[in-house]
Amino acid sequence: MSMTPQFLLLLVCGAAAGGFINGLAGFGTALLALGFWLQIMTPTDAVSLAVVMSIISGIPGIWMIRKTIVAYPLRLARFVIPALIGIPLGVASLSLIAPGVLKLVIAAFLILYGGFFVVRKNLPKISKPTPVVDTVVGFVGGILGGSAGLSGAVPTMWCAMRPWPKEQTRAVTQPFNVLVLIFAAILFAFQGVYDSDALARIAISFPVTMLSAILGMFIFRRLKDEQFRRLLIALMFLAGLILAARELT
């Protein structure tokens, strides 16, 4: 691997952007980091690095909200358990559905969802318990994680519609994403993706990602609950635009 100054600059910029957004919102490392990393790496190398950095930057966030996670274990389980069932089904569906087509469909949904709620003065407030919907959302998230690497899209959209305090929202989305991505990292490891070059990229990205995640968490603590909900919805809109642009170009 040739570590040119340009390579190192884009590697560090991707690590900083990905770590910051994960620290701030609890997801989105790949959303920002891949914009830099796909310029200097193959898609497999870039995505596998994003998976590891998502896990690494997610751990401090989970620690920050650990008390909330412990306070609502059944809520998280309703999302995570069906997701673990959905992941292998998503992987199996790759032979039936082209990932590029699936990503464009999801991108269109994200753009419509984000665009609609971004301009609304009042956000929806689904306050009653919805255990069945939570289970379905987790299952769909697992399928999309296995088929298109988009495990967090549907759970984040759903949680942003709940009038939960920001810690409760993050207590679902962040552990959900980290657990699904750990599963993905194991699959990458079995495929031999993490060779010596990959480990060198991880070693360089690690401190930058962690420091940026801590900065994002610092800002997260100062957001009001309504501001955090609007941030999630705006990021969904941005994610849709970026995803569509990548697939179309």
| Residues 6 or more apart whose Cβ sits within 8 Å of residue 10 | 36, 37, 39, 40
pTM score, whole prediction: 0.84
Mean pLDDT calculated for residue range 69-87 = 93
pLDDT tens column, 2-13: 679 899 999 999
Q: How sure is the predictor about 160, in pLDDT bands with cuts at 50, 70 and 90?
A: confident
Average pLDDT over residues 163-175: 93
Q: Residue 1: what pLDDT?
A: 58
- How confident is the model over 35-52, as pLDDT tens digits? 888 889 888 888 889 889
CA 110, CA 5: separation in Å to the nearest integer? 36
